Structures are given as structure tokens and as C-alpha cells.
Amino acid sequence: MNAHAAVNNHTPGDAANPQGDGSAMQTEKSETALDGAALHQALAIATAEEREDIMRETVRTQLADILAPTVVEDDSNFLENGLTSLTALELTRNLMTLTDVEIPLVAILEYPTPAQLGHYLAEAYDAVNSGDGATA
């Protein structure tokens, strides 16, 4: 199992699996997904390119959990997928919990797709973990 599958419980490029109304399964999946230990382990051994892929998949997974049963593609716009101000707060909170990177809410508008936000998060994660004290 690669780092993507270990962290996000599916392989890269796969759409999130909609589960009926998603209520019981989504709660269990969300609690598991918010354990950042596996993510930090994967990021620690990943190359810069792999970190960006992992972050993109993490964004997609979190967004799919929040907007279930919406299928989220790498270049799909958050707002066009139905992200609201409330769900944007939930998304940033979940991502901050997982990555330990401070994410301003405006980042959702500045980087409006999983690919763009994943790139931003990978760079911010590198800056925070490089020891120079920079924050996102």
C-alpha cells in the first residue's frame, strides 16, 4: 500500500465512494481521517513532489467527506462543488488538524481546487517544517 492509500484510504485518482446517505460511514471515516499521525509519517519520508500529491489527495478526501456524496476531482472548483462558508471553515479546520499548518480561510478562495490547495499546503508544510519558523 503506498503513502496515498495509507493516508487517505483510497488510491490516487479514485473518486470518493458515496455511501447512501453517508451518515454512519462518514462519521467513522472522518474520525479516522483526522488522525494526522499517518499523514505526518507519509510526508516525512516523501519527496517534495510526493508531498504535493499527498496533500492534494488529503484535500480531496476531506472535501469529499464534507460534501458527500459529491465526487471531487483534482481541478474541480470548491465553490462549484457546493462548498459554503460553513463547510469551508470545516475544511480548513480539518486540514489544519491533519497537517499542523495554519491555513487562512482566504486560502480556499485563492487556491480554489484540490490541486492548487494541495500545492499551497505542500509548500506551507515544507516552510513550517524546515525550521525557519515560517508559517503559511
Q: pTM for the whole thing?
A: 0.72
Backbone angles phi, psi at 44, to 5 degrees: -65, -35
Residue-by-residue pLDDT tens, the chain, 136 positions: 444 444 555 444 444 433 333 333 333 444 444 678 899 999 999 999 999 999 999 999 999 999 988 888 999 999 999 999 999 999 999 999 999 999 999 999 999 999 999 999 999 999 988 865 544 4
* 73 conformational bin, left if phi > 0, alpha if psi -120 to 50, beta if neither: beta
